[in-house]
Amino acid sequence: MKDEILCNFWRCYLQKSKQAYCKRPAGETVKALSVCESSTDVDSDPERPSLLHLLSLSESEGALQTDCSFASSVSKVSENTSVCSGSVDGSLYLVKNQKEKLRMTMPMTLSFCYMALLWVREPITLSELLRFVVEGHIPYLNVFEHFPENMRLCGLDLKIFCVESWPVYEEVFNKMHELAAFLDLPRFPDITESCFLHPDMLCMKYLMEANLPDELHNWTCRVVKKTGIGEVDFLTLMPGNKSTRKVKYDVLAAAVIIVVLKLLFLLDDHYEWLLSGIAEERNKNNTEEMVVNLQNQFGKLSGSVQRAEKPNPSSFQLSWSEENTDGSCFHGHSLKGILQEKHGLLTAMNPDYWLCTVKLCNEKLCGHLAHYREVEFPQSYHFVLGLFSFLLRIQPSYIHDEVCMIEHKLFNKKLSKKMKYNRVLRK
């Protein structure tokens, strides 16, 4: 909360929800307001400072406005209220009111953090932020145990700050977008090609994370450019704009890699057998057996070496040493075995591609662009989907949605021709 951007977001939230930084009739009791009430009432207040002004306030300037804050309501509490009963409005936060979608919760605190990180374009994705929570680098479960003595909680406040489950990606992501719209935030700083959250940059990170050859990055960049998902207007958050799609930057990058793997390897459970046969012929002169190579790789994944102390937070979960000569690192490996030169360009030897879905669903009505059922797809595709699902700690269906979206952008012209052709046949 000491960060200037995050702190000013927090002040805006308190003001918008009329919990602080607003004028209140002297005898009015503390109450929770719905999103609709707060958005109309606060906007009509002529003495309310603008959001952009709040974002530019320093810590000292912001502190001067607290005379009309939540503390003024606390002083109105009757004298017979016990100090150990908790905060004045603690009971209101425990009431399940459907209108109060943006009341403060522990997952909401992470939405605030992610919103601030996105505003300053820090090189941290939402999946990484949540992983730092699970790994204990960010206090979350029983967070009140980390509070100083003068902030000791009691009564109903303990239930507010006591959670029994880890945060869910979708909940934190959706709440962040609701929060940004509720605060009337302007367009976020542009996500350009030099930004860490750009798919070209994130694809490079996840290719290293998944121990895939460097040459795949040329193909991911081609897919990003061809589909237009690297454009600034597509990537930059515009709060409250319902016409633009909410971008999950880490999920989008993983989906791009999967589409490239389908372009090159098909992932249909059959083409890989053909490629493995070709590889076997080429590796006949190699003295090491495949079994030893696999043992080396799974030995790394199993983490047999126990660390003496808790590791520092890292952007990478898996480490593949390029200096290692045992063949377990594929970063420097070539794709020449599955590529062919055609008109001066390297193209895939495999000319086929299968779509995950021919027609996308209405995401607003259905909740998903497509439906993912493991039994309906090849195991090779499911394996790759599961790998990135494990790395990002999200459901495979969310990555599958992004894969389907990219495929339809990539093959849009061919799909349009096919649909027109089918209509003619029906007639």
Q: Is the dihedral of CA 233, 235, 240, 246 positive or negative?
A: positive
Q: Please report where in the chains the tokens 């360009």 appear, as a residue.
A: 345
Checking phi first, is residue 281 left (phi over 0); if not, alpha (psi -120 to 50) or beta?
alpha
More confident residue, 77 or 170: 170
Residue 88 has pLDDT above 90, yes or no: no
C-alpha–C-alpha distance, residues 139 and 4, integer Å: 20
Of 71-80, 258-267, 372-381, the range with the lowest mean pLDDT is: 71-80
C-alpha–C-alpha distance, residues 356 and 341, integer Å: 28
- pLDDT the model gives residue 246: 93
Of 40-49, 177-186, 267-276, the range with the lowest mean pLDDT is: 40-49
Q: Please report where in the chains the tokens 């999103």 appear, as a residue.
A: 35
Residue 131 has pLDDT above 70, yes or no: yes
DSSP assignment of 374-408: GGGS-HHHHHHHHHHHHHHTS-HHHHHHHHHHHHH
Q: Please report where in the chains the tokens 């607290």 appear, as a residue.
A: 66
Of 14-18, 124-128, 230-234, 252-256, the range with the lowest mean pLDDT is: 14-18
User: pLDDT band for position 201 (50/70/90)?
Assistant: very high
Using N-to-C axis directions, what is the helix angle for 199-209 and 216-227, rounded to 10°? 150
**214 within 8 A of 207, measured Cβ to Cβ:** yes
- pLDDT the model gives residue 49: 47
User: pLDDT band for position 125 (50/70/90)?
Assistant: very high
The closest of 245, 269, 272, 267 to 257, measured between CA atoms, is 267
- The amino acid sitting at 344 is G
C-alpha–C-alpha distance, residues 6 and 168, integer Å: 21
More confident residue, 99 or 3: 3
Query: 288: which DSSP letter?
Result: S
User: pLDDT band for position 337 (50/70/90)?
Assistant: confident
Of 11-20, 169-178, 192-201, the range with the lowest mean pLDDT is: 11-20
- pLDDT the model gives residue 287: 59
Q: End-to-end alpha-carbon separation of the chain, Å?
A: 64
C-alpha–C-alpha distance, residues 230 and 410, integer Å: 13
User: pLDDT band for position 420 (50/70/90)?
Assistant: low
Of 69-78, 272-281, 341-350, 355-364, the range with the lowest mean pLDDT is: 69-78
Q: Which ranges constitute the DSSP H helices of 64-105?
A: 70-74, 90-94
- pLDDT the model gives residue 328: 63
> Is residue 218 packed enough to be buried (19+ CB in 10 Å), middle (13-18) or exposed (0-12)?
exposed
Helices and strands, counts by H and E, the chain? 20, 2
Q: Phi and psi at residue 346, in whole multiples of 5°?
A: -85, 125
**Per-residue pLDDT averaged across 359-381, rounded?**
85
pTM beyond 0.95, yes or no: no
SS3 percent helix, strand, coil of the chain, rounded to 5, is: 50, 0, 45
**Per-residue pLDDT averaged across 336-364, rounded?**
83
Instruction: Give the chain's mean pLDDT.
Output: 77
User: Alpha-carbon dihedral of residues 277, 407, 318, 314, nearest 10 degrees?
Assistant: 160
Q: Which residues pair with 199 in a beta bridge?
A: none
Q: Which ranges constitute the DSSP H helices of 236-270?
A: 249-265
- pLDDT the model gives residue 152: 79
Residue 76 has pLDDT above 70, yes or no: no
Query: 85: which DSSP letter?
Result: G
Mean pLDDT highest for which of 111-125, 157-171, 333-347?
111-125
Residue 282 has pLDDT above 90, yes or no: no
User: 92-106, pLDDT tens digit by residue?
Assistant: 666 655 455 678 888
- pLDDT the model gives residue 239: 94
Q: Is the dihedral of CA 205, 208, 214, 216 positive or negative?
A: negative
User: 31-71, pLDDT tens digit by residue?
Assistant: 444 333 433 343 444 444 454 454 544 333 433 333 333 33
